[in-house]
A and B are shown apart, each in its own frame.
Chain A
Amino acid sequence: MEGNIAEMGQFIGAGLAAIGSGAAAIGVGHVAGNFLSGALRNPSAAPGQTATLFIGIAFAEALGIFSFLVALLLMFAV
């Protein structure tokens, strides 16, 4: 097992950054789940709010993508 300590830190950092993707998944699940529970309470109002749903999901997901990007950068670019 050779290799320098910087490379090890790089991989550990990439793994840590990948946790952020999972956190974003939780966030997206929250958005979608709350939308669903609201939609089941008032189904007539749901179709008008799907755009808001997708915007919310996009914002939540963007942050997860950022952490994924950090992981990728650590893996391949640094």
Chain B
Amino acid sequence: MASETHSEGGSGLEFHPMDQFIVKPLFGDGPVGMFTVTNVTLWMAASVLAVVLLLIVGTSGRAIVPSRSQSVAELAYGFVYKMIEDVTGKDGLKYFPYIMTLFMFVLFSNVLGLIPTAFTTTSHIAVTAVLAVGVFLSVTILGLVKNGAAFLGLFWVSSAPLALRPVLAVIELISYFVRPVSHSIRLAGNMMAGHAVLKVFAGFAASALIAPFAIGAITAMYALELLVACVQAYVFTILTCVYLKDALHPSH
């Protein structure tokens, strides 16, 4: 299908909704190696820069009565702090910096990706899979180290009838190992879908007849995508907290 549209050349509507996800080198045209500086590097650096601006430059006043940027930074801090406290409990607060890092990275990658012509790093499954597998592995190892064999009680539903327990254990085990898959694909899929839809509408805008409709649709989708970007960052973080809670308190 792709080759078909390309062969049409400049005539008619052209849809390349997936082209925005291409990774390409920033300098020169060489192949993308492991350490090449690419647009991935650029936009990840942008998210780091945004975090520095918000959380370090913004709070440099250390004011008792906060300035605007400082109150936003404190809001983000309090939001994640309270989320961990509510979902995981007091003993989850030890892992606050890790979860805060995940949250800030996902949030800023999602939101910065919405800037026109930007590259959305979180729309790549490779990126979100590393995040999700990292969460999965660290949570599993943490659970095994903290609780030992009791961690396996997570899969042995003691409240169910004895005959059902092996069946439930298999189901629990499968759902446990599906976690990183759904965790990563949810984020990447949401980002990818939103951006691809925007791109499709942008392709419609090439035709003068439906351009007003297409531009209106892009505006509406953009607003929705902004919401989705924040909600997905929240969801990614809160699921991390839920998994962390399972590791710290494995009793079902």
A51, A57, A62, A65: which contacts B83 (Cβ < 8 A)? A51
| Bound Cα distance A55, B245 (Å) | 14
Q: Give the dominant DSSP class at A's interface.
A: helix
Interface set of A (CB-CB < 8 Å, partner B): 7, 10-11, 48, 51, 54-55, 57-59, 61-62, 65-66, 68-69, 72, 75-76
B61 to chain A, nearest CB (A): 31
A-B contact pairs, 22 of them (CB 8 A): A7-B1, A11-B1, A48-B86, A51-B83, A51-B87, A54-B231, A54-B234, A54-B238, A55-B238, A58-B186, A58-B238, A58-B239, A59-B182, A65-B189, A65-B190, A66-B189, A68-B193, A69-B189, A72-B192, A72-B196, A75-B1, A76-B18
B2, B185, B234: which contacts A65 (Cβ < 8 A)? B185
B195 to chain A, nearest CB (A): 12
B2, B186, B239: which contacts A76 (Cβ < 8 A)? B2
Q: Is B235 an interface residue (CB 8 A)?
A: yes
Q: Is B242 an interface residue (CB 8 A)?
A: yes
| Bound Cα distance A64, B233 (Å) | 18
Residues of A within 8 A of B189 (CB): 65-66, 68-69
Assuming the A-B contacts A62-B185, A65-B193, A72-B192, are A51 and B1 also in contact, with contact meaning beta carbons closer than 8 angstroms in the complex?
Answer: no
Most B-side CB within 10 Å, residue of A58, A68, A72, A76: A58
Residues of A within 8 A of B238 (CB): 51, 54-55, 58
Residues of A within 8 A of B235 (CB): 54-55, 57-58
| Bound Cα distance A58, B242 (Å) | 13
| Bound Cα distance A57, B189 (Å) | 15
Residues of A within 8 A of B193 (CB): 65, 68
From B190, which residue of chain A is reached at the shortest CB distance?
Answer: A65
Enumerate B185-222 residues with CB–CB distance to A below 8 Å.
Answer: 185-186, 189-190, 192-193, 196
